[in-house]
Structure 1
Amino acid sequence: MRITNRLPALILGLTPAVALLLVAASVLYGAKSIQPADVWQAIVHFDPSNVDHQVIRHSRLPRAFGALLLGACLALSGAVMQSITRNDLASPSLMGVLDGSVFAVTVAMIFFPTSGGLGLIGFSLVGSALGAILVFGLLRLIPGKGDPVTLAILGTLTGMFLNGTADALALYYHIPQKISYWYNARLYQLDPTLIKLSLPFAIVGLIIVLLLSRSITLLSLGEEQAEGLGVRTGLVKVLAMIGVTLLSGITVAIAGKIAFIGLIVPHMARKLSTRNSRLVLPLSAVLGGLFLAFCDIFSRFLNAPFETPIGVVTALFGVPFFLYLIKRKGGRT
């Protein structure tokens, strides 16, 4: 069957209903099953003395909405990175962006322990930018080696360096348990306050990349062609990476490092639509949120009654897909 532009419109139209179903499933099912009537009561008539109400309001609901937000941000970041680099292997988790955030959060926890929620988000954003600058700076030192696999290797090595440095600092200053949250994403410990504080950054990042969608589409055709069509490629790349930094940085601040969402979902979006970023970007955001919410629910049943770390679940999908991309065409778009 030939895929047309009607399919993305249908997916976007059905998104609210699917998201609502995933939120309902996320709230109802877990280590302790909760009745729908209790969920309704917790929303409209919250009783602080009721344990179920506490779980629903302060754990299950933030977790469900947080998974939708984080998945959307990571997938959108991956879609932008793949388009501007023309690299099928590009994603925040492979290009050192998330690792930079983890490193910066580690520094904040050690040297600025009273920085608070906004301070933590700020450090995470700076670390996200640091990771991207290191990878693309190193790439410029390798003449004629801008191919996708080289970029992926540089990103992986940079991530290993940043993670190793963060590990060493955490061990030296005796905070490995405290910082482990950001190394191993745990959606069941999401802080509702951090989610609220991160929303303005997510909105700004979303606006930036959506406003650039036409230029990103042209840039994905090649720099020379884009410049011939009037695109200021250098400015577009810088602004696009600022958007990626905002979207990726807040995900680490909220939940820690979640890999492979930004790698898998943009490819799904392109298969379901065209290579036009004005369709791929919003579709990536929608599918990313739904995909991470599904993975979060799946993690509760994979090894019930214990929860499987969300990073393990995303890796179950991501690692085979990553190997498939390398085997198929070495990451070339």
Structure 2
Amino acid sequence: MMKSIHKPIVLSICICLAIIGMLILSFCLGTTYYSVQEVLGAFFHYRNTESQNIIRDIRVPRELGALLVGAALACSGAIMQGVTKNALADPALLGLNAGAAMMISVTMALFRETNFLWLMIAGFLGAVLGGTLVMVIGSSRRGGFNTMRIVLAGAAISALLTALAEGIALLFRLNQSITFWSAGGVAGTTWQQLAYAAPVILMIIIVASLTGRQLTALSLGEEMAQGLGVNTHRIRILFSVMTMLLAGVAVSLVGSLAFVGLMIPHIVRLLIGTDYRLIVPFSALLGGLSIVAADTLARLAGESPLGAIISIVGVPFFIYLVRKDGKLL
């Protein structure tokens, strides 16, 4: 009993220490290397030098953005997998990211000088559109939800919405901006963007963690959840809105990134079990760590697309899950 209590505590401390270490490493590495002393000096002994300004205004918001996006996508995937009972659920694979990117491209085309808050709202509305289309199409036949049908519907809707986004980019000459959303990346993240995105992401993670018991019950099945006194209809709507908000904010911040929401929750369940009161916060921590690490590798590889770095691991993981019928082991 004591081991089961201590394990999440020890694991959370280890992941938090790894996050701190990876953040410091990411602040040091890049086209110009800065020592740990220079990085710490930018925080505690600020002298308004060029190196300190680069660290404080470029590298720090970039990596904090990576941390937030990783947490948002991983939590979104964990919640989606619990709500739909679909082991292959992921915001990108089920149309949320493509819908968010499409609506963001529409907003950028119509309002060239729009601020980040409106992009966040557009991302949420697009995620609602993409997710709704996938769920309606994927569950339209008799028998309701089917794992492979949902995945196929997600692939089709994602392709359609991505094509629409690219068509809008061509029509309104937004090619360079839309290429960024397609490839995914945290370069250019600003403190102002973080000020809008961080409260939304953190609030949803906290609420999802506090309501994790209901999500655990829902993941066991409709009848089981109702027997435990859970209002399944209301809870399903609440968690669906959470996933769409997380996906919309993440896409508005860094563009479309796939496989994070698919991989991380499976790894977390392997480490700590099936209780969503633990799965959600641990997914946030491990998701944040993974994106910070991936962005550091992308920067060392000459600013390679972040989405490509993640896909190197994500595609084989997805194929493995499909072959194992959604089971990691």
User: What range is the shorter-chain TM-score in?
Assistant: over 0.9
| Contact kept in structure 2, 1:265 and 1:284, CA below 8 Å | yes
Q: Within 5 Å, which residues of 2 pair with 1:17-36? A: 17-36=17-36
2:127 is equivalent to residue 128 of structure 1: yes
Q: Distance in 2 between matches of 1:330 and 1:178?
A: 35
Check conservation: 2:78, 2:261, Cα contact below 8 A: yes
Structure 1 residue 332 displacement after superposition: 10
SS in 1 for 2:318: helix
Q: What is the Cα-based RMSD across aligned positions, in Å?
A: 1.8
Q: Does 1:70 align with 2:108?
A: no
After superposition, give the CA deviation of every residue in 1:119-143 in whole Å (9 maximum; x if it has no partner).
1111111111111111112223222
Residues 82-93 of structure 1 aligned to structure 2 (within 5 Å): 82-93=81-92
State the distance in 2 between where 1:39 and 1:326 align: 43
Report the Cα distance in structure 2 between the residues aligned to 1:200 and 1:330, rounded to whole angstroms: 33
Please list the CA deviations of residues 80-103 of structure 1 after superposition, one character each: whole Å capped at 9, or x if unmatched. Answer: 000111111001111111111100
Q: Structure 1: 5+ residue runs without aligned partners?
A: none
In the alignment, which residue of structure 2 is the partner of 1:44? Answer: 44
CA distance in 1, matches of 2:282, 2:45: 36
Partner of 1:119: 118
Match of 1:165 in 2: 164
What percent of counterpart residues are identical?
Answer: 32
Aligned length: 327
CA distance in 2 between partners of 1:129 and 1:47 (Å): 46
Q: Residue 55 of structure 2 corresponds to which residue in structure 1?
A: 56
Equivalent position of 1:179 in the other structure: 178
Structure 1 counterpart of 2:12 = 12
Q: Residues of 2 paired with 1:162 and 1:131: CA distance? A: 8
Match of 1:271 in 2: 270
Q: Is 1:152 paired with 2:148?
A: no
**CA deviation after TM superposition for structure 1 residue 149, in Å:** 1.0
Measured after TM superposition, the shift of residue 220 of structure 1 is 0.7
Instruction: Give the letter for the 1:195 counterpart.
Output: L
Instruction: Show the counterpart of 1:325.
Output: 321
Q: Which amino acid aligns with 2:167?
A: A
Deviation at 1:54, TM superposition (A): 2.1
Counterpart position of 1:107: 106
Supply the AA of the counterpart residue of 1:40.
L
Measured against aligned partners, the alpha-carbon deviations of 1:26-58 in whole angstroms (never above 9, x if no partner) come to 00011110122322332234344x321221011
When residues 94 and 128 of structure 1 are mapped into structure 2, their CA distance, relative to the original with a 3 A threshold, is same
Q: Secondary structure at the match of 1:203?
A: helix
Q: Distance in 2 between matches of 1:125 and 1:202?
A: 12
CA displacement 1:286-312 (0-9 Å, x = unmatched): 1111111111122234x3xx1221111
Cα distance, 1:218 vs structure 2: 0.5
When residues 271 and 329 of structure 1 are mapped into structure 2, their CA distance, relative to the original with a 3 A threshold, is same
The CA deviation string for residues 119-176 of structure 1, in whole angstroms up to 9 with x for no partner, is: 1111111111111111112223222252211111111111111100111111011111
Match of 1:309 among 305, 312, 317: 305
Amino acid at match of 1:15: I
How many Å apart are 1:8 and its aligned residue? 2.5
Equivalent in the alignment of 1:98? 97
* Distance across 2 between alignment mates of 1:332 and 1:312: 23
Query: Residue type matched to 1:278 in 2?
Result: R
